[in-house]
Structure 1
C-alpha cells in the first residue's frame, strides 16, 4: 500500500493495517484537527505526508511540536494532546485497539 494514495472521505478516516495482540496500526487521512484527548495507553504518531502541529500539555502548560514527514510523536499514557494538520496530512498511528 502506498500511504500517499490514501484519500479519506472525512477527517481522520483510516485504513487498518494490523491488529497485533490488541495494538492497532492505522494510516489516517485528515485535513481537520482532531480533539483534545488522552489515550488509554501509549500512542506512536508518525507523519507520513504533510505537516502536523501536535499540541500537548505537560504540567498544565501547552506545548506545540511541528511534525513533518518522517517525524514521530510519542504520547505517554495520560498525555493530553491534539493533532492539527496544516492542510492534508497522512499519519501512521500505533495504539491500543480500544483507544479513542
Structure 2
C-alpha cells in the first residue's frame, strides 16, 4: 500500500485492459479498485458481500435480478450504487466508463455464481497497480 496520495486519473491512465480492476489501495480488509469497462460483463452474484460502485467517468448500467423481477439501474458520472449480497447483476457500459469498486480483499470480479466466463473477461481478484510504467493490461 502506498504511503503517498494516489491520483485516480493517473491510476486509470496506467492500463488499458477492460474489466480488469487495479487495486489502488486497501482499507482494513477491503480493496479499493478502479477499472475501465466497456460493453457487457457477465451475470454474476457475490454470495457473502455487497458490491459498491462509483462511476468516475462515463455511464454504467447495472441489470439486477431481484425477487420482484429484473430491472436496470442507470449510473451517470458521479453516481454510487451498492448491489446487495446475493443479488445477481450484470454491469455494462455501452459507451465505456471508468469505475471505482469497494470490495473485500480477494473478492473475484466474476462473483461466486456466474455465467460462463468469456475469454475477454479477466476473472481475477484485482491486479496490483503499476504507476511506474504502463502495464498494458498485464
Flag the 1:47–1:4 CA change in 2: closer, same or farther, 3 A: farther
Structure 2: distance between partners of 1:25 and 1:57: 25
Computing the radius of gyration over CA atoms, which structure comes out larger, 1 or 2?
A: 2
Structure 2: distance between partners of 1:46 and 1:57: 20
Report what 2:12 is aligned to.
Answer: 6
Q: Aligned Cα RMSD in Å?
A: 1.8
Q: Does 1:97 align with 2:105?
A: yes
Structure 2: distance between partners of 1:53 and 1:61: 16
Structure 2: distance between partners of 1:91 and 1:2: 10
Point out the structure with the larger strand share.
Answer: 1
Q: Does 1:86 align with 2:94?
A: yes
TM-score after normalising by structure 2: 0.65
Report what 1:57 is aligned to.
Answer: 65
Cα pair 1:50 1:86 within 8 Å, conserved? no
